[in-house]
Amino acid sequence: MSLLVVALDVPTGEEALRLAEAVHPHVDGFKVGLELLMGEGPAIVSRVAALGAPVFVDAKLHDIPNTVAGAASRLGSIGARWVTVHASGGEEMIRTAVEALATSSEGDAGILAVTVLTSLDEARLEAVGFSRSPAEHVTALSRLAAAAGAEGVVCAVPESASVKALDLGLIVATPGIRPAGSDSADQKRVATPGEAIRAGADLLVVGRPITAAADPTAAALSILQEIEAAVSTTGASHAG
């Protein structure tokens, strides 16, 4: 099942809610990232969740297990449907986050483990000490995330098919989605919505192509058309 998730990467709660209310009838969920969390605080999660769509809280937690568990628990208690942690934090950290989030959300929320950021290509990974290719690194971290009980992983579209091929039951969230002809900005590994669907992505996270558009609703509808066209040729399903 493929869901269109709009990244509310704006500085204020008012902007986020105005944008969310405008596109809400047409999309499947919203992402609350670090910019909004740092500006408005965790309460913004509850305000967005009140619109009735699932909220993907992209907190990218990465700390000792006890600290991550506490943060994940808090986010689950205020309405998060998914919470991200860095898979590189290790299996124990992921597992404690999974358990804490499940408890605080009464089983309604799950952890998504971030594998390799879409802003990193092979050269940049090597510069920070990783000798494996992005695909190899994503595969290894996906296995670790599955063993720790994560609901899914976050990876770039080029690695999505590899994760699905592992048959670990993980959902795949893909940022870096850009309609054909869009500026890739600071993303190094991007793909179109159609390419994401064909690679097996479950959550397509789209930010600036919608949020920076002159007409965000029209931009969202255009992306949905591309998703539906890809779904019709792959046999996948779209929940929107």
Residues forming the active site = 60
The whole-angstrom separation of Cα 45 and Cα 20 is 12
Please give the Cα distance from 120 to 73 (Å, whole number). 29
User: Pairing between strand 152-154 and 82-86?
Assistant: unpaired
Q: What are phi and psi of 233, to 5 degrees?
A: -100, -15
CA 66 to chain centre: 23
Q: Are 91 and 63 in contact (CB under 8 A)?
A: no
Asked if residue 195 lies in contact with residue 180, where contact means CB atoms within 8 angstroms, the answer is: no
To the nearest 10°, report the CA torsion of 216, 23, 204, 142. 120
